[in-house]
Chain A
Amino acid sequence: MTPVLPDPDALCAELVRQLQPRVTADTALVGIHTGGVWLAERLHAALGIELPLGLLDISFYRDDFDKAGLHPQIKPTQIPFEVGGRHIVLVDDVLYTGRTVRGAMNELFDYGRPASISLAVLIDRGGRELPVAAQFVGARLDVPPGRMLVLERDENGKLRLKLDA
């Protein structure tokens, strides 16, 4: 049975609504490559955040390096602001096992000691393997284990959720 996939634009608007009251001068957004970056770019513009957008590729912090090796396409991490003392909102497309978020937090701490880290995701699909929770959630969705739920972007910049078999 295939669940009905929601429209990313509507979920994005929902995230903006949830995040808006929390934004201060010390709030910084950090998108996790690749889907999280697309989402974070939109949130960053919609929320009018002053600090530049951070981009994170967690390939050097994955916990399955011994099994899977190095990811074939690594994009440089760019954190163009001081992490120390900042309230950081990590942004990702889909929250599943929680392992990516753990890697992202480890990497962020190598840049400094943030005042806080919270998590915003388009979809929480359950299936957590670590004690990780998102504070800002576009939608919760039951996805059968083993199926891949990913965010895609076409050449016009239109976002779309896709469920692989």
Chain B
Amino acid sequence: MRNPQLNDKGELQHLLSIEGLPREMLTHILDTATSFVGVTAREVKKVPLLRGKSVFNLFFEPSTRTRTTFEIAAKRLSADVINLNIAVSSHTKGETLLDTVDNLSAMHADMFVVRHAQSGAPHLIASHVASHLHVVNAGDGRHAHPTQGLLDLYTIRHYKKDFTRLSVAIVGDVLHSRVARSLIHALTVMGTPDLRVIGPMTLIPAGAEKLGVRVYYDLQQGLRDVDVVVMLRLQSERMRGALLPSAQEFFKYYGLTPEKLALAKPDAIVMHPGPMNRGVEIDSAVADGAQAVILPQVTFGIAVRMAVMSILAGN
């Protein structure tokens, strides 16, 4: 079966998941993003690529950072952006997902950026819309968050250059994390030899080794000599779901403190997709420390989303 993200020429029509995309395609996106980083540093931070195009941000689940960075990215490409927080509009009135999409298509949308609590919702939309439309997955359930995976990839490449000699540790709630899933796929495709996931047994998916990662239940052991530490956000509802005793206890065993970070390589970088829970998964001294690249991730995220949107719109 054909990859549902590709058109009949094998080009990227939608971005739904990093899974199944070849290394050259990921490299092309990262290289294009490098050129967009330059654009955002100049006096006029806009290029005319998507002039006259309409990008609809369809957020069925709340998000501030991702929605804002997609909005900025689309505006810097000169597109018109329409933000819909569907969690509080037609959805509550009973309209189905595809009816909503059909109505917006009738308003001459060119691209949908979709965030949905249900895994697979962006796939459903992509398989439903007309062939000139493009869909970008901005996070679906536990499945994927491909632009976050790409911006993480971009950040790692920016600081560490060569993926093929890196040790990367992903720490925390791997089980519920679409960010972790997308990054593991991306780093595997790029040939990263040592990928580790670290967390309590209740938050590591069963059979994680099948994804090509090494599993550690002990943070100190897992962090030893890594080049990159990716901290995941711990969602407070996990405490209520009986997966964890308390935030304090989680911090004690899995929170990243300066002492624990000292076990990694001295030049290791610390990443976090945001929003951070200080004192739960990360200590403020680390979050604000010299090794943190959490704010550059946000800046790179705009350039990466500009690259994705312009590549899709041109295919």
Residue B119 at the chain A interface, CB threshold 8 Å: no
Distance between B44 CB and nearest chain A CB, rounded to angstroms: 4
Residues of A within 8 A of B46 (CB): 110
Q: Are B35 and A68 in contact (CB under 8 A)?
A: no
Q: Which of B11, B38, B49, B310 contacts A78 (CB 8 A)?
A: B38
Instruction: Known contacts A60-B48, A70-B310; decide if A77 and B35 are in contact (CB<8 Å).
Output: yes
Considering the complex, give the chain A residue whose CB is closest to the CB of B315. A69
B314 in complex: contacting residue of A65, A107, A109, CB < 8 Å: A65
* CB–CB A110/B42 < 8 A: yes
Among A65, A73, A75, A110, the residue within 8 A (CB) of B44 is: A110
**The one of A69, A72, A74, A110 that contacts B35, using a Cβ cutoff of 8 Å:** A74
Interface size class of chain A, counting residues whose CB lies under 8 Å from the partner chain: 20 to 34
Give A112 to B43 CA distance when docked, in angstroms.
Answer: 7
Determine the chain A residues whose CB is within 8 A of the CB of B49 once the complex forms: 60, 65, 70
- Return A22 CB to nearest CB of chain B, in Å: 26
Complex contact B48–A106 (CB within 8 A): yes
Pick from B11, B35, B43, B315: contact of A57, CB under 8 Å: B35
Binds A, one of B26-34, B122-130, B234-242: B26-34
Question: Knowing A69-B314, A70-B311, A72-B28 touch, does A60 contact B35 (C-beta < 8 A)?
Answer: yes
Q: Mark A53-72, 1 if CB is under 8 A from B, else 0.
A: 00001011100011011101
B47 to A61, Cβ gap below 8 A?
yes
Is the C-beta of B39 less than 8 angstroms from some C-beta in chain A?
Answer: yes
- How distant is the Cα of A57 from the Cα of B39 in the complex, in angstroms? 11
Given A70, A106, A109, which contacts B32 in the complex, CB threshold below 8 Å?
Answer: A70
The verdict on A52 contacting chain B, using a C-beta distance below 8 Å, is no
B interface residue count range (under 10 / 10 to 19 / 20 to 34 / 35 or more): 20 to 34
How far is A112 from B310 in the complex, measured between Cα atoms in Å? 24
B31 to chain A, nearest CB (A): 7
- Chain B 301-315, CB-CB to A under 8 Å as 1, else 0, gives 000000000110111
The distance in angstroms between the C-alpha atoms of A70 and B25, with both chains bound, is 13
A76 on interface, CB distance cutoff 8 Å: yes
B31, closest chain A residue (CB): A74
Question: A81 in the interface, Cβ–Cβ < 8 Å?
Answer: no
Q: How far is the CB of B312 from chain A (nearest CB, A)?
A: 9
A57 to B35, CA, bound (A): 9
Question: What 1/0 flags go to A97-118 for Cβ under 8 Å of B?
Answer: 0000000001101111000000
B39 contact set on A, CB distance < 8 A: 60, 77
B278-315 near A? 1/0 per residue, CB < 8 Å: 00000000000000000000000000000000110111
CA–CA, A5 and B48, complex, Å: 36
Nearest to A82 among chain B residues (CB) is B43
Interface residues of A in 32-65 (CB under 8 A from B): 57, 59-61, 65
In the assembled complex, how far is the CB of residue B223 from the closest CB belonging to chain A, in whole angstroms? Answer: 35
With a cutoff of 8 Å between Cβ atoms, the chain B residues found around residue A74 in the complex are 31-32, 35
Which residues of the other chain, A, contact B48 by a CB distance below 8 angstroms? 60-61, 106
Cβ distance B150 to chain A, nearest Cβ, rounded Å: 16
CB-CB under 8 A from B28, the residues of chain A are: 72
Task: For the complex formed, measure the closest distance between the CB of A53 and the CB atoms of chain B, giving whole angstroms.
Answer: 16
The smallest C-beta distance from A158 to any residue of chain B, in angstroms, reads: 28
CB of A70 within 8 A of CB of B314, answer: yes
In the docked arrangement, what's the CA distance between A76 and B34, Å? 7
Q: Chain B contacts of A66 at CB under 8 A?
A: 314
Bound CA–CA A62/B31 (angstroms): 18
**Closest B residue, CB atoms, query A73:** B31
Tell me, in angstroms, the Cα distance from A109 to B43 when the chains sit together: 10
Q: Is the CB of B43 within 8 A of A110?
A: yes
Question: With contacts A72-B28, A77-B39, A78-B38 known, what are 11 further pairs, Cβ within 8 A?
Answer: A65-B313, A69-B315, A70-B49, A73-B31, A74-B35, A76-B34, A76-B35, A76-B37, A79-B42, A106-B48, A107-B47
User: Please, could you name 22 A-B residue pairs with CB atoms under 8 Å apart, sorted by A?
Assistant: A60-B35, A60-B39, A60-B48, A61-B47, A61-B48, A65-B49, A65-B314, A66-B314, A68-B314, A69-B314, A69-B315, A70-B310, A76-B37, A77-B39, A78-B38, A106-B48, A109-B44, A110-B42, A110-B43, A110-B46, A111-B43, A112-B43
* In the A-B complex, the 4 residue pairs with the closest CB atoms: A69-B314, A110-B44, A60-B47, A70-B314
